[in-house]
Amino acid sequence: MATIGMGDIKKGVRLEITGNPYKVTEFQHVKPGKGAAFVRMKIKNLETAKTIEKTVHAGDKFEVPELEEKTMQFLYDDGEFLQFMDTTTFDQIGLTHEQVGKETFDYMVDGMETEILFHNGKAITVEIPVTYVYEVVETPPNFKGDSQGGKKPATLNSGAVVQVPFHVLEGDKIKVNTVEGEYLEKAK
């Protein structure tokens, strides 16, 4: 099995600690005036969605978790489970809101292609595209005197709210970074 050292730690890297798969959500390389450098990181347990902080020193090594990825289409939310379908076999699985996480669910729309991660044969979490095109369903109208660099809130067809430039109107299609929750550009 492959290993990850301190120098390999960056946002999005997956590692295994005590048999559990984690994903790095934040990290900071620290080089103190005295002593050895280290990395302070926040990692999310992919099975429980709980986030913990961990410090990694120069000699520390982690194994890369054995995860299977399957492309699956998000179908709908039945209130208890989010339903996904394997586009090849048409098998369906359900994941709880806790497994998916609010920050991911806010950007999911029916029909979206996602990557479902499996650990030891069990579906544990979903990853959505980093950028995706959404429709603006609600945003305040423009008014005279709008500044060129200003922003206003816009509700997307997924339900998420992002800050957009004043020129974006209801009905516009926009590209959004789903990791940072940021407007990128108007879709073509």
Please check whether the two domains, 3-63 and 67-127, share a CATH topology: no
CATH topology of domain 67-127: OB fold (Dihydrolipoamide Acetyltransferase, E2P) (2.40.50)
Q: What b-and-e string marks burial along 66-92, b requiring 16 or more CB atoms within 10 Å of the CB?
A: ebeebebbbeeeeeebbbbeeeeeeee
The amino acid occupying position 114 is T
For residue 149, pLDDT over 80 is answered with no
Residue 124: name the closest of 5, 8, 14, 2 by CA. 14
Percent of the chain with pLDDT over 90: 49
Q: Express each pLDDT in 106-133 by its tens digit.
A: 999 999 999 999 988 888 889 999 999 9
For residue 181, pLDDT over 70 is answered with yes
Cα 150 from Cα 84, distance rounded (Å): 38
For residue 34, the model assigns a pLDDT of: 86
The amino acid occupying position 182 is E
Given a contact cutoff of 8 angstroms between Cβ atoms, the answer to whether 42 and 50 are in contact is no
CATH topology of domain 131-186: OB fold (Dihydrolipoamide Acetyltransferase, E2P) (2.40.50)
Q: Under CATH, which number does the domain 3-63 receive? A: 2.30.30.30
Residue 125: name the closest of 49, 71, 63, 51 by CA. 49
Cα 100 from Cα 10, distance rounded (Å): 21
Residue 38: name the closest of 56, 22, 54 by CA. 56
β-strand partners of 54 = 41
Domain locations in the chain? 3-63, 67-127, 131-186
For residue 144, the model assigns a pLDDT of: 62
